[in-house]
Chains A and B, each alone.
Chain A
Amino acid sequence: MEEKVVEIKGLKKSFGDLKVLQGVDLDLHKGENLVVLGKSGSGKSVLIKIMVGLLRQDAGMMKVLGQEVSTLNTKALNALRLKIGFSFQNSALYDSMTVRENMEFPLVRNVKNLTRGEITKKIEGLLDSVGLPQSINQMPSELSGGQKKRIGVARTLILNPEIMLYDEPTAGLDPITCSEINNLILEVKERFNTSSIVITHDLTCAKDTGDRMAVLLDGQFKAMGTFEEVFTHADDQRVKSFYDYNFIHS
């Protein structure tokens, strides 16, 4: 079997009385795109936030690139975070900064001795690859939702991450923009050789981008495998209804 970049075993997380994750097991292999499906509030965002140490699990193992995240000190955690690109559900662009400053922010603080020219070249290159070279001096408030998403992805790519985490990259976007984002995700995987986790409720996105699917239900992964495996042979009625909803009702 290929190398595992993320290894999760028996992961549990609650907020007060609200049990969100109740024993999650999951592996992400090198070079793979894994899609995590699940309905709103099922804990998908919580799962990847634990992966980057924004939240801490109550129990279980969360190993990323061979390191248990919850035991790392600040320095080691930051070193790990440099290798993970986290694209937020709502883009989380710094709205007091231009697109250029947004992209510079992680770069100048983590990579020393870069000249202005090198920084600009890197930013322009990435903006090109997300198809927004003309936006470099715009403010986030001047961008559309889809453009923000793409800038958000470009910002996380600037540190050459090994793992990309996309939190609902296509939520709230029209079908054409969705397919553009899907292509972007595939392109990122090809060009930067990343392993990715893509969180979504959108089965078209899942089908297009994922090598493997995992469905989060009641705080656990109830079904896992390729798209066909998960949905054509779905035993669980709720997994089935997920499919029906996406392809019949919409």
Chain B
Amino acid sequence: MSEKEDDRKPFLSKKFDKFFTGLANAWSFVRRFFSEVFIPPYEFKEIIHQCYRIGVESLPLISLTGFIVGLVFTNQSRPSLSEFGAASWLPSLISIAVVRAMGPLVTALIAAGKVGSSIGAEIGSMKVTEQIDAMEVSATNPFNFLVVSRVLATTLMIPLLVMYTDFVALMGSFLSVNANEMVSMSTFFVQVFESITFLDIFSSVMKSILFGFTIGIVGCYKGYNSSKGTEGVGQAANSAVVISMFLIFIEELLSLQIVNAIRGM
């Protein structure tokens, strides 16, 4: 559409137009991912490199946050449970809260901030400095090399990181329970595993895969479509974080509904 035609439209309709063209573009980007993911060449080296990078980038922050979340949540829940003389239920409560909700959510939000923004910025700067064009003119497929490998890496790594966060958070919680209720590690973990079901673990893994996919594809999409100039790179990184966090919350809500429906069956 030409600029002139665009100018004549009222403000709101322009906004709507932009929103829906954006949505259509994003959708075709996702479709392109699925059409290229199974086609060789497979960039194994790049996928492994990205997995490693994602792990290194987010591990310190995730360790710290997971541990503190477990510890603080336990300490905060203790008074209310003690009121009913149910302090011995702390491990069960914590394990349900961590495995079902907090582990995946905390990990995904941190990864969205660390990994999503760095993917957005990296691909964005490759776009504006014509590195993506350079790949294209040397008859290689930049989408396969850059996007497919990164999305696969986040999809693979976030579930692993979630398991790690779960473990660290439970350790934080154990520290508090051990100090206050004198519960041994084996007793603590027996209680923890008794209270979570297969469905909890399964849904947590599925959710994490979805979160990982979201972080990767949003970061790549924003970077790949960033506008010219260094400003565009910053914007790409920023909106990659905002949009993936927003989507993660929506997905969390939806998966809660689905899991509750299954549980009710």
Contact = CB atoms under 8 A, between A and B. Distances in A.
Interface string B1-19: 0111000000000000000
Interface of A: 16-17, 49, 52, 54, 78-79, 81-82, 84, 86, 88-90, 92-96, 105-106, 109-110, 155-156, 159
A54 B137 contact: yes
B133 interface: yes
Contacts of B140: 105-106, 109-110
Contact of A95 (B2, B3, B4, B131): B131
Given A16-B2, A17-B4, A96-B122, A106 B130 contact: no
B129 A78 contact: no
Given A88-B133, A93-B134, A105-B138, 6 more contacts: A17-B4, A79-B139, A93-B131, A95-B131, A96-B122, A109-B139
Contact of B139 (A81, A88, A90): A81
B139 A78 contact: yes
Nearest to B133: A54
Contacts of A17: 2-4
A177 to B, nearest CB: 21
Given A17-B4, A92-B130, A109-B41, A86 B135 contact: no
A92 B139 contact: no
Interface of B: 2-4, 41, 122, 125-126, 129-131, 133-140
B129 A110 contact: no
13 contacts: A16-B3, A81-B139, A92-B131, A94-B134, A95-B131, A96-B122, A105-B135, A105-B138, A106-B139, A110-B138, A110-B140, A156-B138, A159-B138
B169 to A, nearest CB: 33
Contacts of A16: 2-3
A11 B140 CA distance: 27
Contacts of A88: 130, 133-134
Given A81-B139, A106-B140, A110-B139, A92 B134 contact: yes
A144 B3 CA distance: 40
A15 to B, nearest CB: 10
Contacts of B139: 78-79, 81-82, 106, 109-110, 159
A169 B139 CA distance: 22
B206 to A, nearest CB: 32
Contacts of B41: 109
A84 B131 contact: no
A70 to B, nearest CB: 15
A199 to B, nearest CB: 14
B133 A92 contact: yes
A159 B139 CA distance: 10
A94 B137 contact: no
Contacts of A79: 139
Of B126, B129, B136, B139, chain A has the most CB atoms within 10 Å of the CB of: B139
Q: Which 5 A-B pairs have the closest CB atoms?
A: A106-B138, A92-B134, A78-B139, A92-B130, A81-B139
Of B4, B129, B130, B135, chain A has the most CB atoms within 10 Å of the CB of: B130
Given A92-B129, A106-B140, A86 B134 contact: yes
A93 B126 CA distance: 9
Contacts of A155: 138
A224 B133 CA distance: 30
A222 B129 CA distance: 31
Contact of A90 (B4, B126, B130, B135): B130
Contacts of A105: 135, 138, 140
A152 to B, nearest CB: 8
B53 to A, nearest CB: 10
A52 B139 CA distance: 10
A155 B3 CA distance: 39
A81 B134 contact: no
B137 A90 contact: no
A54 B136 contact: yes
Nearest to A89: B130
A206 B134 CA distance: 24
Of B122, B131, B133, B137, chain A has the most CB atoms within 10 Å of the CB of: B137
A57 B137 CA distance: 17
Contact of B138 (A81, A90, A96): A81
A54 B125 CA distance: 18
Contacts of B134: 86, 88, 92-94
B129 to A, nearest CB: 6
